[in-house]
Structures are given as C-alpha cells and as structure tokens.
Amino acid sequence: MKNLLWLQGLTCSGNTQSFLCSENPSVSEFFSEIKLVWHPEITHNRDITEILSEVFKGNLKIDFLLIEGAVTNNKKLHRIGKYSIRYIINKLKNMVRYIIAVGNCAVHGNYPALYNPDQISGLQYGLNGKKGLLPTKFKTVSGYSVINLTGCPVHPEWITKTVLTLSYGMEIELDSYNRPKELYMYLSHDGCTRNEYFEWKVEAEEFGTKEGCLFYELGCRGPVTHAPCNKILWNRKSSKTRAGMPCIGCTEFDFPYRENYFETKKYMGIPQDIPIGVTKRAYIMITGVAKTFKNERLTKKLEETD
Amino acid sequence: MAKIERKVLHRVEGEIQLKLIWENKQIKDAFIQNLNFRGFEFILENRPPLDALIITPRICGICGHSHLIATVKALEDIYRKNGYRLEISYKASLIRNITHTVEIIQNHIRWFYLFVMPDFTKLEKNKEEMKDYIPLNGSKWKKALSISNNILKIVSILAGQWPHTSYTVPGGVMSDPIQTDIAEAISITDAVLRFFEEEIIGTDINNYLSVGSFDQFKDKIKKGDLLTFIELTLKNGMDKLGKSYNRFITVDAIVPCVREGVVKKRSCRFDPSKIKEIDSYSFLKKDGTDFSRKRYSWAKAVRYDGLPMETGPLARKVVSKNRLFQDLLRRFGDSYMVRVWARIDEIGRMLLTLKSYLLSLNIKEKAYIKPEVKIENLEGVGTGLIEAARGSLLHKIELKDGKIKKYNIITPTTWNLGPRCEKFLSPAEKAIIGLDSSLKAEMILRSFDICSVCTTH
Amino acid sequence: MPKAKKDIREKRKEEIIKVACKLFAERGYYNTTIPDIADAMGMSVGNLYNYFRSKEELAKYIMQYSSRLLGEEIKKINEEDIPTKDKVFRIVRKFFEISEERPELIEYFLRVFLANREVFQEGCEGFLCVSEVVTELMIFLEEGAKKGDLRQQDFFPAFVTLMGPLGGMVFLKGEEILPKKPIEYSQELAENIWRALKS
C-alpha cells in the first residue's frame, strides 16, 4: 500500500478541516487505501520528530508528501519541532514519490506571504511572480513537478481524487500551473444554478435573492475562475454561488492581492474581466443581443413563474 | 535538579511547543509556546473594509465562521457609531445565528472525538476497551466525524460551503433559502440530536437536562461516551487535576466580578475597556518584534483588569448559573473533567437552540437590506464581540479614509493559553503546574480546546 | 459561391441600397415599393427578390450595412495606438466623412430608421441592427475609462454625449440651416465632446 505524510507550514488548517469533511471516500475509507504515516490532527500515537528522523535516515519511504500552508526559511515565523519547513522539504524532495501542494498557501504563499513576500512563499511559486522554495523545473522521482491544488480551502475530493488516481498507477495531466487538468479545466461558473440569468444578462443588483447573476455587479469571478465548485459540490450539498455568495476566485493566483471582492470592476459599465474564451467585442455584442430580447421567466421570482 | 522537557503538541489546531521544567518528578513551571506567525493584523491594514470579511475567516480553518460573524458585527458597529440605524431583518439575524451555532456544535464534536478521547487510548491500560476511540479505525471516531460532516451541510445550504464562507455583510446575509431547505436543515439537526442522545449521553435529552447535580447524573445516566469519559477521568484522578484560577469571562459577563482589581463574589458586566494585552513575554511588541530570551511566544497575554480569565463553555455555564455546573464546580473545582464536560454538555443545548432558530425562521422576510451609505464613507472604531466555540472573541476595526487603518483581534485561546505576564501565569499554564505526567499535561491543555492558529494569527 | 461571384453580388446589393435610399428620401418609406426600386435599378422585380425577399428585409439590411460600415471604420481607429483624445477627433471626423461620401445612409438612419420604428420591430429590436457601431463605441469608451482618460460613468450617458452631437449636426444639415458643411465643424465638435467626457 502506498503511504502519505501530511505536514503543515504557515496555515490556518482550513484544508485539513475541509479534508476531514470528505465523503466517498470518508477519511477512514481513504486511509484504508492509502496508509497514513502522520497527520497533525489525526495521528495520536506518534511524534512527528521521530517520524522525520526515520525518513531522513532512509528507513521510511514516503510515497505522497502533502504540504498544507506556506513555507519559509525563517524559523522565527514557523517551525516543526526544531526544523524549519524549508529544511524538511529540501531534505525530502528527492526522497518522496509525489509532492502535492494542498491549498493556495502551499502553492504560492497566499495571505501569509503578504506579510513578507520575500521570506514566505509556496513550494514552487511565490506571490505575484516571485520564486517559490523549489526551482521551477524541479521534479520528484516520479517525473511530476509539485502537483498544485489551488483553492482556499481546497475541496476534499480534489485531494482524494488526485492521490487515488496516482496510487492506482494512472497518470494525471497537469495544466500550465501544474494543477490537475481534470479538476481545473472547469470554471466555477459551469453548473451554477444562476447560469440562465448569466445567459440573459439578468443581473442581481443586491444580495439576498436566489434569482439573478452575481457577475455584473456583485463581484462574482465564476466566469474567470478555474475550479469545479459547481460540479463537485461543497459538503456534497451546494456552492457559494448557489447560495448567493459571489465566487471570489480563490483558485486563481491573484486571489490574495485582489481587492474589493464584492464589487465588479467596470469601465463605462463593462466588466473589466470578461468571461474566459470570449473576446471583448464578442462579449459586448452578445450582451447587447441578450439584453434586447428579454426572457420573461427570468424577470420574476421563481415562485411566481409557470 | 531541574530538568527541562520540550514537547511538540499536535491535535491542537496548529502546533504548540511546550517547555516543561521538572523538579522532584513534578512540573514546576510550564511555558506554552505558539511559534507560528502569519501577521493577519498587518495584512488587513490599508485594505478596503469589506475585504475583512474574506480575510479574517482565513485566520482559522475550524472557527473561521466565528471570525466572519465578529467582523460583520464590528463593521455594523461602525455604522451605529456614526449614527446610522442599520436594519437587519430577523431572518438574517437568525440565519447568522444558525450557521454560527452549527460551527460550534461541529467544533465540539470533532474536538472531543479527535483530540480528547484518543489521549485516553494512551492513558488507559486496557486497550481493548478503548478500541472504538482509536483514530481512523475506531467505530466511534468514524461515526463522530461523519455526523460532524452532516451538520455542516446546514452551513452549506445557507452559506454555500464550510470551511471559509463570507456570506454575510453589513445589512444581512446573501442567501435566500426556500422552505424545503429549512426542512432539510431541521431534519439534519434532528439526526445529530439523535446521535447526541444515543452515543454521547445514552439517554433522552430531556432526561439529561433534568440532571442538576453529579449525584443525579450518576443515577440517571447509565451509558454513553460522556459517562465513559467521566469514568475514565475519575479512574485516572483527572477529576481533580487541571484547576486554574476559577475566574471566567464571556462577552456578556465576567465571574466573579472584578472591579478595580478587587474580586467580588457575584458576576458583573463585561467591560471591553478593561482588557489589556501585555506583551512582556511575547515576540510581538507595539513597535516591532523582540526575540530576547525571556520572550517565548508570538501570542500576547490578555488580562481583564489585570487578572487572567478563563473563557469557553465552562465560563458560559458559570455565567448562566447552570445548576449542574454549580454543583460540579463546588465538588471538583474548575478541573479537567468539569471543563471537558461543559463542552460536551453544550453540544446538546446548542442543538436544541439550533432547532428553535430554524423553526422560527420566516423565509418571506428580506435577507439583505442595503445600508444607506457605503462603509467606505465612514470612519471610526467598531467592535465585534461574539462567543465562539472556544470562548470570547473580540474584533476591533478602525476605518479611516475608506480603508482599514488598524485591526485588532483577541481570540479565546489567547485568554486561555497566552504567555504569562509579570504577575500571573496564563490559565492553562497554571492548570498544569504540579502534575506528575506530561501526557496528563497534554490532556489538560487540550481540555481548553486549543486553537493555536487563531492565537498567533 | 466562388469569390468573384460573391463580390458581384455584394456590389449589386450596394447599388440597390443607394437607389432605395434615394427613393425613400424622395418619396418616403411607405410610398416606395419594390417595383419602384426595381424599375429605378433597371432590374426585373423577380431579380430584385433574389437579393431581398421583401421591403422589410431590405430596410433592415440597409441598417446593418450602415452599421457595419461605420463600425469597421471605428474599429480601425480603436485599434490604433494613439491617445484617447486623438481617437475622439478621428471618430468624429470619420463620421462626417461618411456622411459626406454616403449621405443617403445617414439620411436613411434619421428619416427612415428612427421615424418608422414599427417597421423594424421584429429583427431589429434594441441595438440589434446597429450592434457593430454600438460595440465599437462601447470598446472605445471602456478603453478610455480603463486608461483613466475618460471619466468613469455609466455607458448610456457617455454614449449619448458622444453620438448626440453628431446626429444633431446632421439633422441641422438636413434642415438646411447650416452655413458650412458639417465636416467643417468637426474640430469644434470633437473638442466639445472630448471636454465633456474626459476625466
């Protein structure tokens, strides 16, 4: 059985908490297929410093190294026992089969890196073009670079699907940010229950209604964000946009330093960021057409439709 | 001869390092070190005000929702201080309370089965008895994790997802649930309540709530994980260990009453102006950082009128003059057993509260009423106070020129597990002085339900 | 259809448009019939129907054709790497150039399209038949605002501020009040529009 070691850098533990919510497989089911070496919130009877000792000596081989949290060399900001996480990763990087960066902080530093972008970063990327801990061309013995799962937090299935697919000996394709293509080729826009309102340009002007598209006024990043949130539902129930909260684009690299998350930035009434895949000209034309032909059904509250 | 032992503690939502000074086989002194720092208070400066709703939940993965509610309250306080009467519909208030309560319940369940009970599997000699509590494979561990996931679906229905939603803004909430959503939420609540009755208290909840003393508990409750916990505690002498200052704080009141440093018997209102953060032993000072030898944690010490206070479910029980806990405190003091029991007890009561919120919800009311002015146009200081799972949470935000000028956060774990000040150890440090076992020290620290990531933010 | 044949067809359509616009201007939209137009073209009615199946279709086509024409010109200006102010001047000038070269199209827009909205109800709703022009103007305004050259505002007031003066000038010409040709007012008008829109 392949095994898995989970370490935390500078983190809020949100990805761990999200992971604990995993269903099909549940955390226990998952760890019946993959052996858990250590996890800071699950393991009760082993000390991490002992385990790291064994791994450094070469007595314990690790297949999957999962890192949650930003990394730094500065031991004043973060330590695991007496080590800095940078030290640990540098020692382990050529000893483990796969390294998976779980969550934005491990991928590029995220909010923690804003405090000190030169000293705090992700594994293979830093904030806003800065360098990560490992060189851009770095690959583990498996031939994969660090596999990035962006998100703040990530969905538990993004972790379990990635690990299990690899553990069954199947290849996963990565996109240009080294994220599993099959997860991040969807936009969080795909599958939102408000898609019809988007199509017909019926905007939600205020919060608090299940009708209306959140893209035009309220800052929703759905059409420009790579994430399967409306395909693989959160808590197997819903998603932010379904519940009326705009997507904040947390899987994209500019997430931590964007501002005014609940406002759609517009110039002369036209959104600054238009949906991926369409040119501005085409978008404006289609918007014009859609606004011209009203969809009567979408002008009413759903309860009042036929 | 004094011996120094250093331990790294996990299963504490983050990481804590513990420095214990041993003498004559007893803990003579204890230093709780929070060594990981992310600087959220700095990250928030110069940001637009509403961005705080996205950022503060990301201080913590398990109690992020409490930060969200504290932030929105602090922002709404700014409206009030500027003379605007913000209208929040009853429906929006209820929805906020509902999601907040769900997070508390889920926190307590995860804490008890993932953090507390596994320690007993190490303490207990009879391993066979404890097999159900073993992480990953134990049937009770699995069931508890699963039920904690179920209740979170209520947050998903009303707020999109857990963890990390920011579905509430000044003026109300963003969601617009339909009647069948509420029915589903009630059904989920009932299922978790059944879990509480079947697994934890081993009886009907009304029977449990009628218990007013330790003796009545022994009479009425014959099975369940709470009983198992109490028996294990008594067996290992932990009913008397882990006592602290017997002083409690909640955002509503403090007990016993402290006025001008003099302690009086009864309770009195909590006055936020009496809180002081003391950084003598912290790496973080008012004007930068300092790593000189005596400083040992990124957290600061917090004191109320100069005194250390315990916050959390036990504090809430004391402040609300709960009959059972008045008896337990009389018999056992603010020990490990009583503190943990207070948390477990809260799961049941909160489930009932949750159900009553859901039943009171009128979906026809507006979810969001837009404030008259944009918050960017207001200035001043706003405070948001809330009782989170682990205790009193305080957010203080200062706005100027349309941006956040300053943001200060005091978390419950800072009260309980901050470093010492010149006069006093923190409540948790005090609780482990005199112990003869470092495993028991760990367990007692966990009874405070540590959120290390919150404490240092 | 091979390219050569297509070009010929397009040329024929343009000729039909010219003639139709002239007749609409002289006699009014409703008083002009398809046989009138065919007659003026020296075509058979059946032949004309090969190009346009009805007067309504022709009417809409003229609008779309004009929109494409002006839209293409504005697109060229949009794509040039010149300051926003220069673009304003160029757009204004181009509009008047077209109104000089193809006066029948501008006339058509003012006298037929705007005056007989009922003709264009189906198939030309809203901005549908003028979408090319409107799109290019939207892009011009958006990019100007993005660069910080134009004042941020809602699209509609900005659009009217830009187009209103142009339409107004052509209208005055039609009333035969203007002492000079519209294009001679181009600089002045463009300056007014620029000052009104700039940040």
Answer yes or no: is B420 within a domain. Answer: yes
The pLDDT tens digits of the residues spanning B348-367 come to: 999 999 999 999 999 999 99
The pLDDT tens digits of the residues spanning B146-158 come to: 999 999 999 999 9
Answer yes or no: is B103 within a domain. Answer: yes
CA B61, B65, B66, B72 dihedral sign is: positive
Query: CB under 8 Å to C120, separation ≥6 — which residues?
Result: C59, C60, C63, C113, C129
Work out the percent of chain A whose per-residue pLDDT is above 70: 100
User: Residue A33 pLDDT > 70, yes or no?
Assistant: yes
Answer yes or no: is B151 within a domain. Answer: yes
**Which of A:43-72 have CB within 8 Å of B?**
43-45, 47-49, 70
AA letter at C59: A
Total count of domains within chain B = 1
- pTM, full prediction: 0.92
Answer yes or no: is B456 within a domain. Answer: no
Tokens of A145: 């670079």
3-class secondary structure, A131? strand
Rounded Cα distance, B310 and B409, in Å = 17
Domain extent at residue B115 = 3-451
Answer yes or no: is B339 within a domain. Answer: yes
- The alpha-carbon radius of gyration of chain A (Å, integer) is 21
Q: Which of A203, A205, A216, A267 to mutate to test the interface with C (most CBs of C within 10 A)?
A: A267
A40: chain B residues, CB-CB within 8 Å: 10-11, 15
Q: Which of A267, A288, A289 sits opposite C152 (nearest CB)?
A: A267
Q: Which of A268, A285, A292 sits opposite C141 (nearest CB)?
A: A268
The answer to whether the CB of B64 falls within 8 A of the CB of B57 is yes
Answer yes or no: is B300 within a domain. Answer: yes
Answer yes or no: is B457 within a domain. Answer: no
Residue B260's pLDDT is 54
Within an 8 Å CB–CB cutoff, is residue A74 touching chain B?
A: no
Tokens of C163: 């187009």
Average pLDDT over residues A175-179: 97
Answer yes or no: is B95 within a domain. Answer: yes
Closest CA to B230 of B98, B362, B348, B328: B328
**Subunits close to A (at least 3 CB pairs below 8 A):** B, C
3-class secondary structure, B153? helix
Average pLDDT over residues C110-114: 83
Test B153 with A237 for CB contact under 8 angstroms. Answer: yes
Q: Which of C131, C143, C156 sits opposite A288 (nearest CB)?
A: C131
- Alpha-carbon gap: A242 to the closest alpha carbon of chain C (Å): 28
3-class secondary structure, B259? strand
Residue B263's pLDDT is 61
Work out the percent of chain B whose per-residue pLDDT is above 90: 81
Tokens of A118: 């030169």
- Alpha-carbon gap: A272 to the closest alpha carbon of chain C (Å): 8
- The alpha-carbon radius of gyration of chain B (Å, integer) is 22
Q: Which of A38, A44, A49, A248 to mutate to test the interface with B (most CBs of B within 10 A)?
A: A44
Rounded Cα distance, A12 and B158, in Å = 23
Closest CA to C157 of C189, C188, C196: C196
Closest CA to A258 of A110, A145, A154: A110
3-class secondary structure, B392? strand
CATH code for the domain of B258:
1.10.645.10
The pLDDT tens digits of the residues spanning B239-292 come to: 999 999 999 999 877 767 665 555 666 778 888 888 999 999 999 888 888 998
ipTM of the modeled complex: 0.95
The pLDDT tens digits of the residues spanning B4-28 come to: 999 889 998 888 899 999 999 999 9
């070269």: which residue's tokens?
C101
The answer to whether the CB of A111 falls within 8 A of the CB of A105 is yes
The answer to whether the CB of B45 falls within 8 A of the CB of B408 is no
